[in-house]
Amino acid sequence: MMMSRALRKIFSVINFFVPYGIYNGYSNTINKMRVPVELTKKVTENKKFKDIHASSRCFILASGPSIRDQDLGFLKGEICFAVNEFYLHKDINLISPKYHIIAPNHAPFTKETNKTRFECLKRYYSDKVIVFLGDNNYQYSYWNFLNENTSYNKTNYQIINYYNYYQLDERNFTNNKTWDISRTPFAPRTVIYIGLQIAHYMGFKEIYLLGCDHDYLMDIKRITNHHFYEESQGISDVEHLRQFTSEKWFEEYYFRWKQYRLMKEYLNHKGVFIYNATRGGMLDVFPRVVYEDLFRK
């Protein structure tokens, strides 16, 4: 662990002084040596999703508290991506998401939280729901868990590779490879990033965000009640949030907003538009729309 931190510091210094193209090629070569061969093969399966929903619209359903107050019955028949613990929503069977996305695992989450998550996926979804698992170089990664617990492994699980860790920035945001889920897309600061990567890869032209409150800065001392469900119902992130200082929150939000802006610029240039249909919340990078108006003829 200490060596891992030291290497990250060394790479960050190298990244500052070495031209981006040279650094990126070098770091990718090093990182590829860490990625299991079978995982790489699994990731290439994502090519089958390229442009399968060309020119369509979709909804990314996040788990912010605001989504409790919205009538999700309108989404019946729409193509929806649910994320993380959204399967706990009371209308999950009515919505019947076509896709579900799980963010990469990280400390302090462990094998036990993995078990809880995969039990929930089994309980709430049929094998028709395609589940995208963000994976990274972590002891309790989903890839490691599924290989150790084969009874949970299913053919409808897809892996997105985040082993080759790099951030979206001004130097790479227009590079198509940066968005390629059959390779290694840019690192997600939130599961919404993954939803946008997948939706773009699948060819959607209109992407609507719901329940994307992004309002932690409104009360940075509050570490509970950030979801539509109670902490006891899902996987609690209290211990994770407890580690965040005020400085860390402001840094996190600065980079999220900056990266959202880069995503918007790139996707708009490609003819893809993101709209925020969340009721309230802080996210102001994308144009706001009234959710109910989307279904009025």
Confidence of residue 243 (pLDDT cuts 50, 70, 90): confident
Token code pair at residue 210 = 């719901």
137 pLDDT above the threshold of 80: yes
157 pLDDT above the threshold of 60: yes
Confidence of residue 18 (pLDDT cuts 50, 70, 90): very low
Share of the chain above pLDDT 70, in %: 85
Share of the chain above pLDDT 90, in %: 73
231 pLDDT above the threshold of 80: no
Q: CATH topology for 46-295?
A: sialyltransferase cstii, chain A (3.90.1480)
9 pLDDT above the threshold of 60: no
Whether the Cβ atoms of residue 157 and residue 131 lie closer than 8 Å to each other: yes
Residue 56: CA atoms inside 13 Å, Cβ hemisphere, count? Answer: 14
Confidence of residue 29 (pLDDT cuts 50, 70, 90): very low
Which residue(s) pair with 59 in the sheet? 80, 208
Whether the Cβ atoms of residue 234 and residue 89 lie closer than 8 Å to each other: no
98 pLDDT above the threshold of 80: yes
All structural domains of the chain with their residue ranges? 1-33, 46-295
Confidence of residue 11 (pLDDT cuts 50, 70, 90): low
Q: Quote the mean pLDDT of the chain.
A: 88
